[in-house]
Amino acid sequence: MSSMGPPDVLVIGDANPDLLLTGDVVPRFGQVEKLVDSADLVLGGSAAIAACGLARLGVPTALAAVVGDDLFGEFVRAELTMAGVDTRWLRTDPGAATALSVVLSAGDRAILTLPGALAGTGADIVDTDLLSRVRHVHSASMFLLPLLAPHLPEIFTAARSGGATTSLDTNWDPAGLWLGALELVEHSDVVFPNAAELLEMTHAADLDAAAATILALGCRVALKDGASGGVLWDGQTVSRVAAPSIDVVDTTGAGDSFDAGFISGMIEGLSGPTCLERAVRCGSLSTRSVGGIAAQARRADLG
């Protein structure tokens, strides 16, 4: 281990390039070739984008993830390093390909993902000694990490026993089963779903009922509500923050920047509603450029 001290935040999850295509991106099969407006290779993965967002806000942050020993893996490591993320716990698996997502963006988005190294990512990526020394642990994309996901409750328990807070962004479950989500919520201080994810993981009829289910497990809900901003259910009140007016270029990773903003507020001891204000601002500002990290907020952007 280097002489660097421990990070304040450990983010656990996925790291991969996104190939972002814009324009008329709906494919037509039958060997029909279509022309798109742009193609950008950018850093992707919910965990990687959240880690970059925290680092850009000045929070010492490490990422525990796995990449392959290939060009895409080198790209991920270089992008994280440039963003200021501590990569000491980013592992390279020579036997796996780096995961890759192709994002078809035309207002709404469709995503095609090669799991690659994600499929073999297990609990061994998490340094148990580190868990006792960080201030916060954040998990992202649990459903893309089937070997790691069952161990996340014990990882969160260990972190909390050392005094750390915890947060969870499940992202969408491609299998549609949402297994293990509520079990991990029980060990989380805050969960960051969008509306569809919140309804699916709780099987509730509406958002307030869904939030009540999460609150009953001892966890707050900070909802990412897209262009409408965000909503926080903390058990005492319901807080709403509208999104600022932004000329949106690309919404890729905006939710992950939202997560980073909220977590940075928690680290500073800010109130829940103030954390939500920062989260909405960070999520909104990240949409000013293509990809998830190019336009992420810095400290000076927080006002």
Residue range 262-278, pLDDT digits in tens:
999 999 999 999 999 99
Question: What's the pLDDT band for 106 if we cut at 50, 70, 90?
Answer: confident
Residue in 95, 102, 98 with CA at minimum distance from that of residue 67:
98
Q: Side by side, which strands form the sheet with 220-224?
A: 90-93, 61-68, 9-12, 136-140, 165-169, 190-191, 220-224, 230-233, 238-241
Average pLDDT over residues 278-288: 96
pLDDT in tens, 238-266: 999 999 999 988 788 999 999 999 999 99
Return d(Cα 131, Cα 25) in angstroms, integer.
Answer: 42
Question: What's the pLDDT band for 109 if we cut at 50, 70, 90?
Answer: confident
The DSSP-derived string for 207-222 is HHHHHHHHHTTT-EEE
CATH class in words for 9-13+46-67+120-297: alpha beta
**According to the model, what pLDDT value does residue 1 have?**
37
**According to the model, what pLDDT value does residue 233 have?**
98
Scanning the structure block, which residue is given the tokens 């009953």?
A: 216
Domain chopping of the chain, boundaries = 9-13+46-67+120-297
Amino acid at 98: T
Mean pLDDT score across all residues of the chain: 95
Average pLDDT over residues 104-133: 92
pLDDT in tens, 168-220: 999 999 999 999 999 999 999 999 999 999 999 999 999 999 999 999 999 99
